[in-house]
Structure formats: C-alpha cells, structure tokens
Amino acid sequence: MAIENAYYGQEGHGPYELIGIGDLQLEEGGTIKDCKLAVATFGKLNAAKDNAILISTWYSGTSKIMEQVYTGKGRALDPDKYFIAIINQIGNGLSTSPHNSPDPANFPKVRIGDDVRAQHKVLTERFKIDSLALVVGGSMGAQQTYEWAVRYPEMVKRAAPIAGTAKNTEHDFVFTETLNEAITTDPAWNGGNYKSSGDVAAGLKRQAKLWTVMGWSTQFFKEGRHRALGFANMQEFVDNFMTGYFAPMDANDLLAMAWKWQRGDVSRHTGGDLRAALARINAKTFVMPISHDMFFPPDDCQAEWRLIPHAEFRPIQSIDGHLALFGADPSAVAQIDKGLSELLATKV
C-alpha cells in the first residue's frame, strides 16, 4: 500500500503533468506496471521541432528547483525561445516511486538507462520530438545526460552534464552507501515497511549531516557561507536547513534513487569500455564540474572529457561545492548560465 506523503504533489512541486508510458521493462529484470513520469514543460515547440530542451533531475530534487534555479526569461534556458521539458526521474517522489506504488518496500531496482528509455518514450511518443537541442542536468541529472548522449547519439545535439560523471567512481559508490546506511540503520525504517516518512526522521537527519559534510566544502564553512545564508551557526544549519530539506522526503524513494546513482555507467553499452561508450557521443558537449565538488571532483570529470569527441571542459568555480547546484551562489549560477548560452549558440 502506498505511503502518504504531502511533500510530493502539485502544491509544492507543480504544475506538472503525469504522463503514463505503460509498463516499463527494467534492465535488472522486473517491470514497473503503468509507469508514470511527472513532466513540467515551459515554452512552445517550434514548427521545425528543433528547439526542445530536456532537463533531468538529481537525487532528491524535482522539476521545481530546476525550473526555479535554471530557467527563466533572459536566461540560457529561456521558455521564450525553447520548449523545455523537465522530466522527474523515477523514484523522485513525483514520478512513479516506491512511496506512491502498491508495495513501497519491494519497489524494483531501476537503472539510469530505464529512466532514459522512459523519458525517450515520453518525448518521442507524446511530444513527437526526435531531436533535442540540449540535454542538461546536474549530479544524477548529469548521469542521465551522459546516458542520453550515449544511448541516443543522433537525437542529442548538445549535452551539458553538470557536476556528475558518465561512470560512477568507486569512491562515490561508497559515499552513497554511507547515505543509504544512515537511513537503513534507523530501526524505524524497518526494511522499508514504515507508515510515514516521519517515522524515519532520525535516519533522514543522519543523512542530512552526511550531506552537510560532503555536499558543500570545507571552504564554504570556513568563509561562513552557512551564516551568510541566514543560519546563526552550524547546528542551526544542520537542524534547520539540511535536515529541513530531507525530513519531509520519503526514505524508500531516496534509497531507490541512490541505488541508481551508485551504478550509473554508460560503459554498460560497450562491455565496460568507457572510451568506446563516450566515443559514441555526437552531441557537442560541455563538461561542467564544480571546482570544490567533493564527490564529483573536476579531475574525475576531466578524465571523461578527454574521451568525448566534441567536448569542452568548462569547470564552474564555487566554494559551495556539489550543492552549488542548489543555486545559492549567484556566481555559480551565472557561470552555468553563461556556459549553457555558449553551448546553445554553438552550431551543430
């Protein structure tokens, strides 16, 4: 039986449309019956159907933050110029996810590739789009962006993976495991069998602390950015901002996304050969790591950039680290915007 959760819904995260794609066969086996993706769109598809942009979502994020931080009139992702589809990933709470499924504790394992095939179905069948001017996303959104560019090379004209990798690292895998264990060691999680997300508050708070340590950067705290954001001290920042962010979310949804995140790897298409997989990319690609990102460090992204045929390495400078994605550092937002504008201006 689904688990009620007021956080996920049109009120906080809409408007979006739930688009059914029928049953989704999964790479790991099993099926999601009557799979639905939550899609928010902005702007109009032009007659040539060559102005479509796909934005993918990150771990814990929904279309709402992507809309608010990354799109807008006069911005790179301008609904006056582009038809922008933000598709919520499976498991993020808006699209089909453990908490809104009949058996939350036994939701099947979903891979990035499943998401991308599902998104492809929505774009081609519902919106009749067969060309994407740009695919862009941060973190797990970058994983989906890479998967798109490798899986559908003819369809993706430009790609901007921000703060994420094409093949997840062993280091990042273990980091994500610590996030998962923060939840699963909470007795109230109970193998996924809980009544309400609030039951797992202790586990979600521990997760919030881990994000506090790794999500930002030491420099962020050294320079008092947490105080600049309005929190008197670290304790308040952890208790109110970080814990406040994760507390209303569904534990099983987070675990479903994390499982995907840990296993993101485009080299699954080429028998483990990352070079061969990235060589498939036709898209003009801007690889955009964040300077102080502690788990997708620029070095990792640069190594992948070297393997992509038409790519530029465009690091973003920000002591906000990985969570510069949240948009609290206006300079980082401006840098991303500038990068995306230049990428969109590139003839392909």
Provide the β-strand partners of residue 42.
84
Please tell me the distance from the alpha carbon of residue 12 to that of residue 8, in angstroms, as a whole number: 7
From the CB of 178, what's the least distance to a copy of itself, in Å?
5
Stretch that binds a copy of itself, among 9-17, 101-109, 207-215, 326-334 (CB under 8 A): 207-215
Stretch that binds a copy of itself, among 29-37, 39-47, 62-70, 177-185 (CB under 8 A): 177-185
Asked if 303 touches a copy of itself (CB under 8 A), the answer is: yes
Q: Which of 81, 126, 153, 175 binds a copy of itself (CB under 8 A)?
A: 175
Q: What type of residue sits at position 89? A: Q
Closest CA to 18 of 137, 142, 166, 126: 126
Tokens of 338: 């500038």
| Candidates 13, 99, 120, 322; catalytic one | 322
The DSSP letter of residue 345 is H
Asked if 206 touches a copy of itself (CB under 8 A), the answer is: yes
Please tell me the distance from the alpha carbon of residue 23 to that of residue 149, in angstroms, as a whole number: 24
Please tell me the distance from the alpha carbon of residue 258 to that of residue 168, in angstroms, as a whole number: 12
From the CB of 225, what's the least distance to a copy of itself, in Å?
11
Asked if 245 touches a copy of itself (CB under 8 A), the answer is: no
CB 57 within 8 A of CB 86: yes
139 catalytic? Reply is yes
Please tell me the distance from the alpha carbon of residue 27 to that of residue 115, in angstroms, as a whole number: 10
Q: Contacts with a copy of itself in 209-238 (CB under 8 A)? A: 209-210, 212-214, 216, 218-222, 226, 233-234, 238
Can you give the C-alpha Rg of the chain in angstroms?
19
Asked if 174 touches a copy of itself (CB under 8 A), the answer is: yes
Please tell me the distance from the alpha carbon of residue 236 to that of residue 72, in angstroms, as a whole number: 32
Asked if 164 touches a copy of itself (CB under 8 A), the answer is: no
From the CB of 339, what's the least distance to a copy of itself, in Å?
23
Interface contacts to a copy of itself, rule CB under 8 A: 169-175, 177-178, 181, 185-187, 202, 206, 209-210, 212-214, 216, 218-222, 226, 233-234, 238, 294-295, 297, 299-300, 303
Active site residues per annotation: 139, 293, 322
